[in-house]
Amino acid sequence: MSMLEAGLRGGTVAILLLVAILSLRDSGRTPAGRNSALFLLSAVGYVTCSAPGVASLDTPLGLSLLAVSLGHPALFWIWAAATFDDEFKPSWRRGFAWLGLVALGMWSLLDSQPIVGFAYSALSLLFVGLAAWHALAGRETDLVEARRRLRMLLAVSAASYGAVLIVTDVVSPGSSVSAPFSIVNAAGLATMTFAIALLWLGIAHEASAVSPTASDQRSSPRPEAPAAGPLDQQEAALLEALRELMEEQKLYRHDGLTIAVLAARLAIPEYRLRRLINRRLGHRNFSSFVNGYRLAEARAALADPVQANVPILTIALDTGFQSLAPFNRAFKTTAGMTPREYRRQHLSRPEPRFAT
């Protein structure tokens, strides 16, 4: 391995370890922070094991690095889900998926059967594709600008680069760890890592501008405290116009309400509206912002004795949901119970008695 390649790989490992430490320090208690650290450590394993003459099963350290490296595509998928899905919840199924990929990869190395190696590569491609899907699926409703940029980099560049590496190893086994491809790979990994690290640190900076209280109030359409700094006159006017559209004109009831439609009604660019809702109202996702109004109206209707006989489906459709299933999921996430249980609980309360 040349000095240039050693420097590129060493620098890449240093950046990955630094961002992993920062992720654990700043958000280690969250699923996104923990999964980010695991993904970055697995990337360290891949950067190390893909270097010429480094990967070896003869030592415990080499075996450990190989195991970590082989599970990298699965951790890539889990990291993408945790980073881009605000409703992500840890699941043992994802852990088993990672473990299965590692086992399959070790089998392919120890047994050298082509069919096993092909199965490992195919499964790795599937995980890379799922990571790209997570990156692209929610981009239109994402309100965090740095995360939106990371979505495109991940989907277009990182996922494509990973897919090329996997296919290259299938077509020409061992070529990725031999010159001259290994130094090209080292340069590509260094460039990709630097770009992702910058965007990831940008996400952490933007997230710190949103108070935890505001970001946790997804069920409330209007968090009480602004997320960052005092309001200027223009922002105050925009927030008032936004309030009028949502609360008085009830624009959230309209079919096909998007960030583009709402920005057009306010006559401002989309990026400004995303920044306003994210930094001033504490929402990271446009759907959670809109659903806050919808669910607030739904809760009021379900607790209203006058509407006791109105079907729940009717209430869901009237408040802007397209069908019952997403309404039930969103309602249970914010209220901790189903709409039926909520109605039963509130309408079964006895009338208060007053002393005479």
Give the chain's domains with CATH numbers.
3-208 (1.20.1070), 216-347 (1.10.10.60)
Buried b (16+ CB within 10 A) or exposed e, 25-47: ebbeeebbbbbbbbbbebbbbbb
Give residue 113's pLDDT: 78
For residue 297, what pLDDT band results from cuts at 50, 70 and 90? very high
Which two three-digit tokens encode residue 235? 């922002």
Measured CA to CA, the distance from residue 287 to residue 300 in angstroms comes to 20
Amino acid letter, residue 288: S
Measured CA to CA, the distance from residue 150 to residue 296 in angstroms comes to 32
Task: Give the whole-number percent of the chain exceeding pLDDT 70.
Answer: 84
For residue 177, what pLDDT band results from cuts at 50, 70 and 90? low
Q: pLDDT, tens digit, for every residue of 123-149?
A: 998 998 999 899 888 888 899 887 888
Give residue 58's pLDDT: 63
Spell out the residues 6+ positions from residue 168 whose beta carbon is closer than 8 angstroms to its own.
Answer: 175, 176, 181
Measured CA to CA, the distance from residue 332 to residue 347 in angstroms comes to 18
Contact present, 145 and 133 (Cβ < 8 Å): no
Q: pLDDT, tens digit, for every residue of 81-103?
A: 988 888 888 889 999 999 999 99
Instruction: Decide which of 20 and 349 is more confident.
Output: 20
The pTM assigned to this predicted structure is 0.77
Q: pLDDT, tens digit, for every residue of 9-27?
A: 899 999 999 888 888 887 7
Asked whether the predicted pLDDT for residue 263 surpasses 80, the reply is yes
